[in-house]
């Protein structure tokens, strides 16, 4: 298939995502970088510059942003539950908007993927069921095994939904164009969806209808804050990240997307395959989700320029999200347009640190100079 002409143009053509007008179909995927202000978890001037540099993306989805201290799973990740955090994010959204970009925040509760040192009062992390995740988290001393979780009582769930609502209100106050719920990668909403992490026998466990209940209740609750045309969700049907497992992902996510359709949200953001690994990690029919969902389909994971162009040309997605390529290439849109060489990301500076490996990757113009 030709990689030029009309097909290439479609990647760079405008798109209306629900109520949000985008100047191209390139999405900056959410990327945890652990560079929020120590002590307050508020965005700072370095974060402002990082997002401003990448504002040529049609849409920026921020790094996962915890809705509460209980929702935090890693050190130095930003929150959106304090005035200081809202003020920090307002500076980010102002900078992105001034550069002509659009930005939404990813609302995040990690559930069991946390450590007691990050939790209020050093309490156990919460989960649908008291099943520890076979994974690690990142604390001040480095990577460590996650702490054993406790099962959420049924009467605690409305409080978590209220935390999502408050976070959505704060996102609106901070000037975001919309919100994405983090329903992927083995975090809280994903934990409720999957039978590998959800063994509940109440209204939130057992049947598919019960396991998708929390996701749908959160969507209905935040839809009182943002119009549905400014809300989306990220899902990762087969990615094993953070010990996410289900006995029948096709049935689960087929049913979930049917129900998401009824909510009228703007988009689903789908991690195809295993995050940071093979796109064909397990057999899964993503096209079935694409066809079943009436809103926009954002495809993510391991996309090259060629694969992105081909995917749009074959109508397998509406937008393409790039992650690691945006880390090392602040001007990724321009580089993809020109089919220019790409900077290689420095893995050693992904998590934590300062401007090195964060805001110091050169643009094409800077390289030319």
Mean pLDDT over residues 217-240, rounded? 98
- Look at residue 279 and tell me whether its pLDDT is greater than 90: no
Indicate which CATH number applies to the domain containing 51.
3.20.20.70
Closest by CA position to 231, among listed 154, 151, 177: 177
**Has residue 361 been placed in a domain?**
no
Rounded to whole angstroms, the Cα distance separating 152 from 146 reads 17
**Has residue 268 been placed in a domain?**
yes
53 contact partners, CB below 8 Å, separation of at least 6: 330, 331, 359, 363
At residue 304, the pLDDT reads 97
At residue 114, the pLDDT reads 98
**Has residue 347 been placed in a domain?**
no
Residue 226: domain span: 5-322
**Has residue 252 been placed in a domain?**
yes
307 contact partners, CB below 8 Å, separation of at least 6: none
Rounded to whole angstroms, the Cα distance separating 178 from 170 reads 11
**Has residue 283 been placed in a domain?**
yes
Mean pLDDT over residues 2-14, rounded? 74
**Has residue 16 been placed in a domain?**
yes
Mean pLDDT over residues 260-278, rounded? 93
Q: In this predicted model, what pLDDT tens digit does every residue of 71-108 receive, in sequence order?
A: 999 999 999 999 999 999 999 999 999 999 999 999 99
pTM (two decimals): 0.97
- Listed as own residue / partner, the contacts of 254-260 with beta carbons closer than 8 Å and 24 or more positions apart are 254/288, 254/289, 254/292, 255/208, 255/209, 255/212, 256/193, 256/208, 256/212, 256/215, 257/289, 257/292, 257/293, 258/292, 259/212, 259/216, 260/215, 260/216, 260/219, 260/233, 260/293
Q: With bands split at pLDDT 50, 70 and 90, how would you rate the model's confidence at 8?
A: confident
Q: In this predicted model, what pLDDT tens digit does every residue of 295-346 receive, in sequence order?
A: 999 999 999 999 999 999 999 999 999 999 999 999 999 999 999 999 999 9
At residue 2, the pLDDT reads 37
At residue 280, the pLDDT reads 83
Q: In this predicted model, what pLDDT tens digit does every residue of 105-153 receive, in sequence order?
A: 999 999 999 999 999 999 999 999 999 999 999 999 999 999 999 999 9
**Has residue 140 been placed in a domain?**
yes
At residue 255, the pLDDT reads 98
> What SS3 string covers the chain?
CCCCHHHHHHHCCCEEECCEEECCCEEECCCCCCCCCCCCCCCCHHHHHHHHHCCCCCEEEEEEEECCCCCCCCCCCCECCCHHHHHHHHHHHHHHHHCCCCEEEEEECCCCCCCHHHCHHHCCCEECCCCCCCCEEEECCEEEECCCCEECCHHHHHHHHHHHHHHHHHHHHCCCCCEEEECCCCCHHHHHHCCCCCCCCCCCCCCHHHHCHHHHHHHHHHCCCCCHHHEEEEECCCCCHHHCCCCCHHHHHHHHHHHHHHHCCCEEEEECCCCCCCCCCCCCCHHHHHHHCCCEEEEECCCCHHHHHHHHHCCCCCEEEECHHHHHCCCHHHHHHHCCCCCCCCHHHCCCCCCCCCCCCCCHHHHHC
315 contact partners, CB below 8 Å, separation of at least 6: none
At residue 195, the pLDDT reads 98
Q: In whole numbers, what is the pLDDT of the chain averaged over residues?
A: 96
Mean pLDDT over residues 245-264, rounded? 98
Q: With bands split at pLDDT 50, 70 and 90, how would you rate the model's confidence at 5?
A: low
Which residues are identified as catalytic? Answer: 187
At residue 3, the pLDDT reads 44
Mean pLDDT over residues 208-222, rounded? 98
261 contact partners, CB below 8 Å, separation of at least 6: 292, 293, 294, 295
**Has residue 280 been placed in a domain?**
yes
Q: In this predicted model, what pLDDT tens digit does every residue of 177-210 receive, in sequence order?
A: 999 999 999 999 999 999 999 999 999 999 999 9
At residue 368, the pLDDT reads 83
User: What total number of domains does the chain contain?
Assistant: 1
């Amino acid at each position: 298939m030709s990689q030029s002409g009309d097909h290439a143009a479609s990647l760079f053509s405008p798109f209306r995502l629900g109520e949000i007008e985008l100047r191209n179909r390139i999405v900056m995927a959410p990327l945890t970088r652990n560079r929020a202000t120590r002590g307050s978890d508020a965005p700072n001037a370095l974060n402002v510059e990082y997002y401003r540099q990448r504002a040529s993306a049609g849409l920026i989805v921020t790094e996962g942003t915890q809705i509460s201290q209980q929702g935090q799973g890693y050190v130095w990740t930003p929150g959106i539950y304090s005035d200081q955090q809202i003020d920090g994010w307002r500076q980010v959204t102002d900078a992105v908007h001034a550069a002509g970009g659009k930005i939404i925040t990813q609302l995040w509760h990690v559930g069991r993927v946390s450590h007691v040192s990050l939790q209020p009062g050093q309490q156990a992390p919460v989960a649908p069921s008291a099943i520890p995740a076979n994974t690690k988290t990142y604390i001040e001393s480095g990577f460590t095994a996650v702490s054993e979780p406790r099962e959420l009582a049924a009467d605690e769930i409305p409080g978590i939904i209220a935390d999502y609502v408050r976070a959505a209100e704060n996102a609106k106050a901070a000037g975001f164009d919309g919100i994405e719920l983090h329903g992927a990668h083995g975090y809280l909403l994903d934990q409720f969806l999957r039978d590998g992490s959800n063994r509940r026998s109440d209204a939130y466990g057992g049947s598919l209808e019960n396991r998708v209940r929390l996701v749908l209740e959160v969507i209905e609750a935040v839809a009182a804050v943002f119009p549905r045309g400014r809300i989306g969700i990220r899902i990762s049907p087969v990615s094993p990240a953070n010990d996410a497992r289900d006995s029948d992902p096709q049935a689960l996510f087929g049913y979930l997307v049917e129900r998401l359709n009824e909510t009228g949200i703007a988009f689903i953001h789908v991690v195809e395959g295993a995050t940071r690994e093979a796109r064909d990690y397990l057999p899964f029919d993503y096209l079935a989700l694409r066809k079943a969902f009436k809103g926009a389909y954002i495809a993510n994971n391991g996309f090259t320029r060629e694969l992105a162009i081909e995917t749009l040309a074959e109508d397998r997605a509406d937008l393409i999200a790039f992650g690691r390529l945006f880390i090392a290439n602040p001007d990724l849109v321009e580089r993809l347009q020109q089919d220019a060489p790409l900077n290689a990301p420095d893995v050693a500076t992904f998590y934590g640190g300062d401007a090195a490996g964060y805001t110091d990757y050169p643009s094409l113009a800077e390289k030319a100079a």
